[in-house]
Structure 1
Amino acid sequence: MFVPAGLHPPHVERLHLDQIAWAGASLFEVGLAHHDAGLDGPVIQAAYRRALRRGNVLDHTLHTVEHASGLRPTVVMTYWEPVDRHGPEHLARLFADAGAAGVMVVDLPEDQAARWQEAAKAAGLHTPRLVPRRGTGSDSDLTRVAAGASGWLYAPASTAPTGYSGPLDLPALADFTERLRAASPLPVVSGVGISTPALAARVAPLVDAVVIGTPIVRALTTDPDQVRALTAAFAQALIPNTATETRA
């Protein structure tokens, strides 16, 4: 499950994480709020703005990771700007000490990739890599992008920002997944645009894990009482096809 850190007071957030874990999520992805989340749609951007207004974003995220990692394996999703501002080596160590298994920088600049991957490796963190279908045209591009990744490769199910709720081009996703598997032995995870349990069930056979986010974030924002049932519906749709992470 994808959960933006700092959306609610800490004691409420811990309760939500507990409920999501009990309902069937097998991994948490914790979002570090950012003011310019260009790859995210309006629901997650609004959640980030709410978290930013609460202040102490990094501290809140570290506390969220500490609790989440006691429930399920946990990774952090961030943009490059906070990593650069706090320092890759410093931030990697903070997240590792908080219990994170990895950190995915979704807009990692190519000229900073080696530094980030070295810092994360030194801290004992995996470095999953988001690999968009657009912008990685050749197989050599895929091999180059995947070379420094560890943990998994993230293949968005849609080329739109998170929160997309239209039809998915599943043949294109299947083709892209096969190209990624030819380029790297890492598992392939998919998210973005997987807006319903029915869609999750259709994507699951194509990949090694599915990430669900915007539906959960929307519920956390508007009707938290529905989060447990919604998580359970997605988890049930994926059994026995694949594991559940979360972001979408």
Structure 2
Amino acid sequence: MATANRLHTLLTQPQCALGVFLPAGVHQTDVQCRQLDHLAQSGADLFEIGLPCANPALDGLLIRSAYHRALFKGDVIDRTVRAVAHAASLRPTVVMTYWEPVRRHGPEHLARLLADAGAAGMMVVDLPPDETLRWHHAAHTAGLSAPRLVPRATQDTDLPAAVDGASGWLYAPASTGPTGYQGPLDLTALDTFTQRLRAASPLPVVSGVGISSPGLAARVAPLVDAVVIGTPIVRALLSDPAPAGSVTATFAQALRTRIGTAPDV
């Protein structure tokens, strides 16, 4: 449980952490390892590694395209394990995926495989209610935390069931749209929702989806324990990888300079 403890320590610090999402398997393993090194040096506090899925329903076009490129290359599980192992050697690392690949490869097998690679946890964003107990048991047995994505539309009466059995963190999407959303954020609604989550569970709260600029990240930071950015990084890595580090550094600086200020909602 050492890796899960590192994650817990990070998310319970006063400073809002910066998480960086990276889809596994888009590039060759040596290239992806160099990318992870660069992102860690540029300010990433934790990594979220995406296990590619053929139908990522909550993702926008860019991340869908990245997943499809990875699937086309093949050896997705091996590439993901290698990405997780290297990422976890640098920063606390959580895997993000959908139920379809978990079901296909077997929850118990996949949980053990990724835990052995060094993952601190694994978030199944579309976890079916009737598979929740099985997945939580598999994750717990492997020593993985099991973060839960909780939709903002979840009613107060449904919150206890939504957070039951979750561990590691609760994920509160900043936008109700898909990943890659670049419009305005309803920060008042996000603030209200994060307060509801904190009332329902002692777990840290993490937010991502639609945090498309450093300015937005700075405004979300006072509401949560970590901000995760994905599309801005994936966009750089798919076209010209060089700017990805500077993008990460700009987001990291925005979170650092926000320390001690009041939420602007």
Q: TM-score range by the shorter chain?
A: over 0.9
- Any unmatched runs of 5+ in structure 1? 243-248
Q: What is the rounded CA distance, in whole Å, between the counterparts of 2:46 and 2:207 in structure 1?
A: 13
Q: Verify: 1:7 aligned to 2:26, yes or no.
A: yes
Partner residue in 2 for 1:222: 239
1:50 is paired with a residue whose SS is helix
AA matched with 2:255 = L
2:242 is paired with a residue whose SS is helix
Partner residue in 1 for 2:142: 123
Q: Verify: 1:106 aligned to 2:125, yes or no.
A: yes
Shift, 1:6, TM fit: 0.6
Q: What is the rounded CA distance, in whole Å, between the counterparts of 2:119 and 2:170 in structure 1?
A: 17
Shift, 1:144, TM fit: 1.1
Identity of aligned residues (%): 67
Shift, 1:223, TM fit: 1.4
- TM-score, normalised on structure 2? 0.89
AA matched with 2:244 = V
Q: 2:189 aligns with which of 163, 172, 180?
A: 172
Q: What is the rounded CA distance, in whole Å, between the counterparts of 2:220 and 2:93 in structure 1?
A: 22
Shift, 1:80, TM fit: 0.2
Q: Verify: 1:234 aligned to 2:251, yes or no.
A: yes
Q: What is the rounded CA distance, in whole Å, between the counterparts of 1:210 and 1:13 in structure 2?
A: 22
Q: 2:41 aligns with which of 22, 28, 33?
A: 22
Partner residue in 2 for 1:133: 152
2:206 is paired with a residue whose SS is strand
AA matched with 2:48 = E
2:179 is paired with a residue whose SS is coil
- TM-score, normalised on structure 1? 0.95
Partner residue in 2 for 1:91: 110
AA matched with 2:40 = A
AA matched with 1:213 = G
Q: Verify: 1:210 aligned to 2:227, yes or no.
A: yes
Q: What is the rounded CA distance, in whole Å, between the counterparts of 1:132 and 1:211 in structure 2?
A: 16
AA matched with 2:169 = W
1:211 is paired with a residue whose SS is strand
Q: What is the rounded CA distance, in whole Å, between the counterparts of 2:77 and 2:137 in structure 1?
A: 22
Shift, 1:140, TM fit: 2.6
1:98-140 per-position Cα deviation (integer Å, ceiling 9, x unaligned): 0000000000001100000001000000000000112x12x23
Report how many aligned residue pairs link the two structures.
Answer: 240
AA matched with 2:183 = G
